Chain A
Amino acid sequence: MSEATSTTAASSAARQSSVFKLTFRLPIIIWQSLFFIGPLCFMVAMSFFIVRNYRMQEDFVMKNWLKMLGRDYFWDSYVLTWGLAGIGTVVTMLVAFPAAYTLAFKASEAVRRWAIFMLIIPFFTSYLVRIFSWYVILAESGVINAGLSYLGLGPFVMLNTKFGTVVGYMTLTLPLVIILQTFALANIDRSLVEAAFNLGCRPFRTIYRVILPMARTGLIIAAVFCFILSFGDFVSPYYLGGSKPPTLPILIVDTVKSGQQWPRAAVVAVVMMVTLFVVAFAGIMAAYRRRVG
């Protein structure tokens, strides 16, 4: 084999190799740039457009930003959405933890497998249908109050309250959070937990000192997902919370629907997005921060 041919062969192999490489690398770059980055950038640009006679016109004005950020109701919604999503996340994480703990440490493998399997089922049912069902269950004339009335209790107002909203959020997030928490806990080295017990560590102290730190990454990721899902959900606060007052996602729908104010809806959306980026970033930093000491 002469040197020349081997060089050609090598370069053709290299060329082939780079074709191969790009075949796998490029599609997603092109696709996501066109249909993910594109729309998001356009939305940011859109927040500077104007609307005349229900038609959007390209422009560059600060009006939408000044108008939305200058309104008290926008900030009220902002705080409210934070609060609701925050409460929803805390409650969901707390409710999920004993369940995940049971599944990870107490349940047999078969039980765990079936439980996870059951937790996936809700993903195959329509979220809307489940929310509609809650509507019937929580109503004043609904299932729960009918049951309580036999005990001489109630009726309790549960619909169109923040309680209703949180129930809705949990419908969306609880199965996912339990699954994520279970995986986070199941990955812990059990011998360490047992060692803690054997050294006389009490259960709650073990959870606090041993289990939580070791499962931190997974738990924080679960919480971040829970928060993001709740923060962006418009179905629960609308149907179970009576949009009273509206959260940011409802504000987006309202703004689009009435008067076709897409640019102002875009302002709300951009603010939400920035907020969630900050939350997600902070969460990831916290999750992967090296443990000190």
Chain B
Amino acid sequence: MKSTANLFGSKLSRRKALAYGAATALSTPFISRAWAAPTEINMLAWYGHGEPDIVAEFEAANNVKFKPKYYAGGDNMLGLIAQSPPGTYDVILSDGEFVQQLNAAGYIEELNAADYPFDDMLYEDFTKFPGHWKDGKLYSMMVRFGHLGVSYNKNAITAEEAMSYSCFWKPEVKGKVGHFDWHLPSLGMMSLYNGNGAGLWDLSDGKWDAVQETTLSLRPQVGGYFDYGGTFNSLKNGEMQAMCGIGDWITGVLEKDGAPVGSVVPKEGGIQWTESYCIGKGTDKADIVKKFIQYMLSADGQVKSAQMAAYPGFAITKSGRAKLIDVDRAEAERTGQIDGMANDPITLVKEGRIHYRNIPVQQTLEDWNDFWSEYKNA
């Protein structure tokens, strides 16, 4: 039994030392933070919006501190709000299509339209984005957008093949097609592939069945379902060679990092993601949040959003675009954010090749979500 006693002894003193170490570690870094007591702003957003590259400057200028809670997918966002006490979140970054639901549930405050630069918007349609206005009142302010289509590894799929969602079924990429793990964008693409065009969200029972069938036929090709980080990594390391449900917001970051990946809007059409800021109902920090939204819509804020480390988004204001061209022409060119370029995202929208992401019209989100679980298990 001697050995056991010794084991015990050595374990013990090691742990004792750990406790000493903890005590010393305690004393160093917090001294510097003790004097500053900035106002805390609770933010609910997609990953990255509360990171230093976006908010640090604003925090320093206004003595505030963002406390972000990140979600993935609109259903997830609604759930998080529903389970928290009212007033928990001061500022909410919502996907455009979920603003209506936020509003219907009474989770967000009315905004004053005069506070925001509507005359600076690049595209008329964005000034009255669906669901952002209700009875002439503004509830949410769009800040950025992006396009979803075929994301692919250029070594495995040619640019021509990528012009149709059919490339996901290509035998060479069997087991190498990944899904971003959220039902809306992926099923939306399947609906587009089925030729539903502008009616992609408004599916009769028959068409919904057909979309399910198409989706299930892709199952043998699928190599995995990924969250944000997994999507990044598996595209980067070649584990996945085509990805359904995403767009430049992910491949853009990788491209800048030198990976042979890209995203295109295929001939069947692409989907637009739209991100909008809302002020949480019951917050006592509405003024500073308003100031923050204004900041994100300023030329500086728009450039930050376009260069966001987590994922880039297109500028929506003229001044933002101008400043982006000014300070980072390469990025503006890469993403087509220069008037007259063929892949100018605004042009794509105007040509009708892009459809705003929406929630299912004839089915419930739950139906879609249910099918998604089924699909993953198929």
Determine direct contact between A and B, CB below 8 Å.
yes
Q: Does B377 contact A (CB under 8 A)?
A: yes
Complex: A136 Cα to B230 Cα, angstroms: 11
Of A28-36, A110-118, A193-201, A281-289, which stretch is located at the interface? A110-118
Q: Does B32 contact A (CB under 8 A)?
A: no
What residues of chain B have their CB less than 8 Å away from a CB belonging to chain A? 2-4, 6-7, 10-11, 14, 72-73, 75-76, 78-79, 81-83, 105, 175, 181-183, 222-226, 230, 233-234, 237-239, 365-366, 369, 372-374, 376-378
Smallest CB separation, A11 vs chain B (Å) = 42
A window 254-273: CB within 8 A of B? 254-261
Contact for B76 among A120, A239, A257, CB less than 8 A:
A257
Contact for B83 among A136, A183, A260, CB less than 8 A:
A260
Q: Which A-B residue pairs are the 3 nearest by beta carbons?
A: A242-B224, A260-B79, A73-B377
Contact A244 B369 (CB under 8 A): no
Complex: A26 Cα to B347 Cα, angstroms: 71
Smallest CB separation, B204 vs chain A (Å) = 23
Contact B224 A142 (CB under 8 A): no
Chain A, Cβ-Cβ closest to B79: A260
Chain B residues, Cβ within 8 Å of A160: 223-224, 234, 239
Smallest CB separation, B43 vs chain A (Å) = 19
Complex: A249 Cα to B28 Cα, angstroms: 39
19 sample A-B contacts, Cβ–Cβ < 8 Å, listed by A number:
A53-B82, A54-B82, A55-B82, A71-B373, A72-B374, A109-B2, A113-B10, A117-B14, A120-B11, A135-B233, A160-B223, A160-B239, A186-B4, A239-B230, A242-B223, A244-B225, A244-B376, A259-B365, A259-B366
Complex: A258 Cα to B78 Cα, angstroms: 9
Q: Does A171 contact B (CB under 8 A)?
A: no
Complex: A72 Cα to B374 Cα, angstroms: 8
Smallest CB separation, B75 vs chain A (Å) = 5
Contact A243 B225 (CB under 8 A): yes
Contact B376 A159 (CB under 8 A): no
Chain B residues, Cβ within 8 Å of A183: 4
Known: A243-B224, A260-B79. A73 touches B374 (CB 8 A): yes
- Find the residue from B7, B369, B374 having the highest chain A CB count within 10 A: B7
Contact A260 B6 (CB under 8 A): no
Smallest CB separation, B11 vs chain A (Å) = 7
Contact A246 B76 (CB under 8 A): no
Contact B225 A54 (CB under 8 A): no
Task: Count CB-based A-B contacts (< 8 Å).
Answer: 111
Contact for A157 among B73, B175, B225, B233, CB less than 8 A:
B175
Chain B, Cβ-Cβ closest to A245: B377
Contact for A109 among B3, B11, B230, B237, CB less than 8 A:
B3
A window 13-36: CB within 8 A of B? none
Contact A54 B72 (CB under 8 A): no
Known: A254-B373, A259-B369. A159 touches B234 (CB 8 A): yes
Contact B376 A141 (CB under 8 A): no
Interface string of A137-159 (1 = CB under 8 A from B): 00111100000000000000101
Contact B79 A242 (CB under 8 A): no
Chain A residues, Cβ within 8 Å of B234: 159-160
Complex: A148 Cα to B201 Cα, angstroms: 47
Chain B, Cβ-Cβ closest to A155: B238
Contact B181 A141 (CB under 8 A): no
Chain B residues, Cβ within 8 Å of A116: 7
Contact A159 B239 (CB under 8 A): yes
Complex: A42 Cα to B2 Cα, angstroms: 47
Smallest CB separation, B208 vs chain A (Å) = 18
Chain A residues, Cβ within 8 Å of B366: 259, 261
Complex: A10 Cα to B233 Cα, angstroms: 73
Q: Does A58 contact B (CB under 8 A)?
A: no
Complex: A256 Cα to B175 Cα, angstroms: 28
Contact B377 A246 (CB under 8 A): yes
Chain B residues, Cβ within 8 Å of A189: none
Q: Does A76 contact B (CB under 8 A)?
A: yes
Contact B224 A186 (CB under 8 A): no
Contact A53 B369 (CB under 8 A): no
Contact A109 B6 (CB under 8 A): yes
Chain B residues, Cβ within 8 Å of A251: 373
Q: Does A77 contact B (CB under 8 A)?
A: yes
Chain B residues, Cβ within 8 Å of A135: 233
Chain A residues, Cβ within 8 Å of B10: 113, 117
Known: A54-B105, A160-B223. A140 touches B238 (CB 8 A): yes
Chain A residues, Cβ within 8 Å of B374: 71-73
Contact A142 B237 (CB under 8 A): yes
Smallest CB separation, B99 vs chain A (Å) = 15
Smallest CB separation, A123 vs chain B (Å) = 11
